[in-house]
Amino acid sequence: MATPDHLNFAQQDLRNRCFRQHYLRDANFEGADIRGCDFRGATLVNASFEHVKAGLSQRQVLIMLVYGAFLTVMIFEAIFFALIGQTATAIALITGMAAAVALVLEIPGSLLVVVLITAIATISDRASFSLAIAISLVFLTLVAASWQRLLYFLAATAAGFLVVALSGFAGNLAEAIASPHVMITAIVFAGVVVALIERDLPKKNARYVPTGMIAIMAIFGLLAFLGAIFMQAGFVAVAQLQLTLALMHFALMLMAIAGAAVFGLEIPKTINQSIGTSFRDADLTDANFNHANLANTDLSYARTNGTNWGSAQFRKCVAYKFSSRT
């Protein structure tokens, strides 16, 4: 029996497509390029994946590199503010970074936390650079998730800006633009709006973002930041001749720096082993992966009763609580 057109993906370039929680029983993916595809929770009973190519897509690698660059800037900026004694701005930046990472990891309510922390980081005029970095990180996070979510965010920001400008500045746009508080209010308003509706946004256009490197970088940044905080506190204690307290702070600094070094060394390996194609929690009962090229693929928690792995090649795959019974 011929495969219906809506289930026939044979020989197609499907890179970065989202099939999350889709019902694809008897679908034909033979010879398709499924790098960057998200099949998490999908029903793929009796589906054919013969000769497919799975793994990291170029877009995913680019997202990791750009996101990593932004995280690096935020980390070192937070460390800089911590070392010069501007602890409040430093904490706002590092917390904003953590919240943005939580958004990528799809922890509920993360978007709202991101914009609130962004607002806190911009209250001081001295944190104007922090504003640019934090807002850029929010936008990058939204783009990584989906263009539709970004468009909602931008539309809500524009609406919030106009409301605040018209009500608080009597329509004087020049004065409203000059005030950072207007933009802060608009961003927070947009965050609230998108946070309220994000559960209802369709997942079909969502992109699967490799999260391993991002999570490792966040832990590295947090530990490095704590090292800077303890270093600054240690120097303050020395200046106040509180030597015991200073020694305690310097000991904590060394522990934090050692931990940061351990996670920092893991970053290149994590990038190399990041997941590109995910079948996590998918139903692969009786699916056919004969001669499939499965690189950087997550098969964790997948149901694989009767799955035919034939001559499939596995490289840098994750298969927690997975069985390869045929």
Q: What is the pLDDT of residues 159-168, one digit of tens each?
A: 766 776 666 5
62 three-class SS: helix
CATH number of the structural domain spanning residue 52 = 2.160.20.80
Supply 7's token pair. Answer: 């289930």
- Cβ–Cβ < 8 Å for 82, 229: yes
Query: pLDDT value at position 79?
Result: 81
Supply 292's token pair. Answer: 């499939």
Same domain as 280, residue 268? no
Q: How many CA atoms lie within 13 A of 202 on its CB side?
A: 7
Whether the pLDDT of residue 246 is over 70: the answer is: yes
Write the CB contacts of 145 (distance below 8 Å, at least 6 apart in sequence): 103, 104, 206, 207, 209
297: nearest Cα among 49, 118, 65 = 49
Query: pLDDT value at position 125?
Result: 47
Same domain as 91, residue 145? yes
Same domain as 112, residue 73? yes
Percent of the chain that is helix, strand, coil (3-state, to 5): 55, 10, 35
Whether the pLDDT of residue 67 is over 60: the answer is: yes
Q: Is residue 8 part of a domain?
A: no
Whether the pLDDT of residue 48 is over 90: the answer is: yes
User: What burial class does residue 118 get, using C-beta atoms within 10 Å of its C-beta: 0-12 exposed, 13-18 middle, 19+ buried?
Assistant: buried
Mean pLDDT of 18-38: 91
Same domain as 129, residue 159? yes
Mean pLDDT of 189-218: 61
Which of 251, 272, 293 is the C-terminal boundary of a domain? 272
Q: Of the given ranges (154-168, 242-256, 274-288), which has the lowest mean pLDDT?
A: 154-168
Q: Is residue 5 part of a domain?
A: no
d(CA 53, CA 49): 9
- Percent over 90 (pLDDT), the chain: 18
Computed over every residue of the chain, the mean pLDDT equals 75
The boundaries of the domain holding residue 205 are 61-272
Q: Is residue 197 part of a domain?
A: yes
Same domain as 72, residue 44? no
Whether the pLDDT of residue 193 is over 80: the answer is: no
Query: pLDDT value at position 153?
Result: 67
Same domain as 191, residue 239? yes
Same domain as 136, residue 109? yes
Q: Is residue 1 part of a domain?
A: no
Whether the pLDDT of residue 200 is over 60: the answer is: no
Q: Is residue 7 part of a domain?
A: no
Mean pLDDT of 200-204: 49
- Cβ–Cβ < 8 Å for 7, 26: yes
Same domain as 298, residue 204? no
Query: pLDDT value at position 225?
Result: 82
For 82-91, which contacts have Cβ atoms below 8 Å and span 24 or more sequence positions?
82/225, 82/228, 82/229, 82/232, 83/228, 83/231, 83/232, 85/232, 86/124, 86/126, 87/229, 87/232, 88/124, 89/121, 89/124, 89/126, 89/127, 89/130, 90/225, 90/228, 90/229
| Candidate ranges 5-19, 35-49, 58-72, 98-112; pick with highest mean pLDDT | 35-49
Quote the radius of gyration of the chain (alpha carbons, Å). Answer: 24
* Helices 110-121 & 128-145 angle (0-180, nearest 10): 160
Q: Is residue 131 part of a domain?
A: yes
Same domain as 174, residue 225? yes
Q: If you ran DSSP here, which 8-state letter would residue 314 be given?
A: E
Q: Is residue 143 part of a domain?
A: yes
Same domain as 206, residue 106? yes
Supply 59's token pair. Answer: 């877009």
Q: What is the number of structural domains in the chain? A: 2
| E strands present in the chain | 53-54, 277-278, 293-295, 297-298, 313-315
Q: Is residue 155 part of a domain?
A: yes
d(CA 176, CA 168): 8
